């Protein structure tokens, strides 16, 4: 029996949101920025559940899995204008597709070299989705595949955070490696190519933009769920929701661009999802599976890097383009433009955002596809 009973749904939900908020706060501190907010959230919930402060199973968690995961998908995808991504960032889109191919091939090789138990195929699909789109695809693929091992998912998230941080550090130092840089075409990326994006980003988040963001997301989720049920494929509702969000984002980009704050709300819900997953984790099992997961991820990232930079060099893409594309695939749309700006590649800031959003749009499809191929 836990201190907070399992049937006290409001109290359990309150704890999830409080811990998620503490996770956001922790990653902004000097001592906490070594880990992501998602990992701090997971560690906090694991501690509370294993100390029996909160239950390991509760209707609150079921609510998160059933509804909040579905809502965060459109919130992340409102800016997924595929027309703009492919027409305005052709070279970066190509670089990102190569990086995505590297992730898929890396997951397949890791699956064949490292055994992660009877659900290895599902885990390969989950990592594929995560290393193409990020947390939104990570969450959606877990739910689509019905993967329910909380200890494994919590360990995977912790390993992912460690590996991603090391990978980002590696990407940041690659431009200084003269031998490697000499293998790629030289293109000046120092000039910004798009001022419209900057002006759009400067628009403030308002109560009406938040209201419309949540409202439209709920409508899309309701319609997507109804379509999936009508087609008798309820497990595919996340893929249907993805399609229903990308269509208006591509056809009506100006209107969807006004939905400021959607990404931020989606990030909060993603943290709560990680917390709900972590509640069922057993610390002993989590520690025991982490080493094998780390080997799995290292193989995946190694193949990803070889394919991305090897094939990218053959196709005459520049080293900066491939670095930002790889960053967008492995770490998502938020860190890619930050790295581009830090390196002085102002011309890759907006493309970095756009291809990261492309990852949100295709990551779940590819993750589910890899799981099906290997399963």
Answer yes or no: are the C-beta atoms of 370 and 110 closer than 8 Å.
Answer: no
Mean pLDDT (the chain) is 86
| CATH assignment of 9-374, among 3.30.70, 3.40.50, 1.10.10, 1.20.1530 | 1.20.1530
**Is 82 a residue whose pLDDT tops 70?**
yes
- Flag the least confident range among 8-17, 199-208, 360-369: 199-208
Name the residue with higher pLDDT: 139 or 313.
313
Rounded Cα–Cα distance for residues 67 and 71 (Å): 6
The pTM (predicted TM-score) of the whole model is 0.75
What is the pLDDT averaged over residues 350-372?
A: 89
Q: What is the pLDDT of residues 252-290, one digit of tens each?
A: 988 888 888 888 888 888 889 878 888 887 777 778 888
pLDDT for residue 230: 94
Residue with tokens 């993967």: 147
pLDDT tens readout for residues 136-194 = 788 889 888 888 788 888 888 878 877 887 888 888 888 888 888 888 988 877 765 55
Q: What is the pLDDT of residue 182?
A: 87
Residue 337 pLDDT exceeds 80? no
Query: What's the CA gap between 317 and 269, in Å, rounded?
Result: 36
Domain boundaries of the chain, sorted by first residue: 9-374
319-331 and 283-314 helices cross at what angle (nearest 10)?
A: 160
Q: Does the pLDDT at position 60 exceed 90? A: yes
């Amino acid at each position: 029996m836990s201190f907070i009973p399992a049937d006290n749904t409001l109290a359990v939900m309150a704890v999830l949101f409080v811990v998620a908020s503490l996770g956001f706060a922790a990653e902004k501190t000097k001592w906490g920025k070594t880990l992501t907010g998602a990992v701090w959230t997971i560690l906090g919930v694991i501690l509370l559940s294993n100390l029996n402060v909160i239950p390991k199973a509760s209707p609150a968690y079921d609510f998160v899995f059933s509804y909040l995961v579905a809502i965060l998908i459109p919130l992340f995808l409102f800016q997924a204008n595929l027309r703009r991504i492919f027409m305005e960032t052709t070279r970066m889109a190509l670089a990102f597709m190569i990086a995505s191919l590297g992730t898929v091939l890396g997951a397949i090789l890791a699956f064949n070299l490292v055994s992660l138990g009877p659900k290895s195929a599902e885990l390969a699909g989950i990592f594929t989705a995560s290393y193409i789109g990020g947390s939104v695809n990570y969450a959606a693929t877990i739910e689509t595949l019905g993967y329910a091992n909380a200890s494994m998912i919590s360990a995977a998230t912790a390993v992912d955070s460690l590996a991603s941080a090391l990978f980002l550090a590696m990407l940041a130092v690659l431009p200084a490696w003269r031998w490697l840089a000499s293998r790629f075409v030289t293109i000046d990326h120092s000039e910004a190519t798009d001022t419209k994006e900057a002006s759009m980003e400067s628009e403030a988040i308002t109560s009406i933009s938040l209201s419309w963001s949540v409202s439209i997301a709920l409508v899309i989720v309701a319609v997507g769920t109804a379509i999936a049920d009508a087609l008798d494929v309820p497990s595919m509702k996340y893929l249907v929701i993805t399609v229903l969000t990308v269509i208006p984002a591509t056809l009506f980009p100006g209107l969807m661009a006004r939905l400021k704050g959607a990404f931020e709300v989606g990030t909060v819900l993603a943290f709560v999802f990680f917390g709900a997953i972590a509640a069922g984790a057993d610390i002993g099992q989590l520690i025991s599976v982490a080493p094998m997961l780390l080997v799995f991820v290292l193989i995946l990232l190694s193949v990803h890097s070889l394919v991305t930079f090897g094939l990218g060099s053959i196709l005459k893409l520049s080293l900066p383009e491939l670095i930002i594309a790889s960053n967008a695939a492995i770490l998502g749309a938020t860190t890619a433009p930050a790295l581009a700006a830090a390196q002085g590649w102002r011309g890759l800031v907006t493309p970095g955002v756009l291809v990261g959003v492309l990852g949100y749009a295709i990551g779940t499809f590819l993750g589910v596809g890899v799981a099906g191929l290997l399963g």
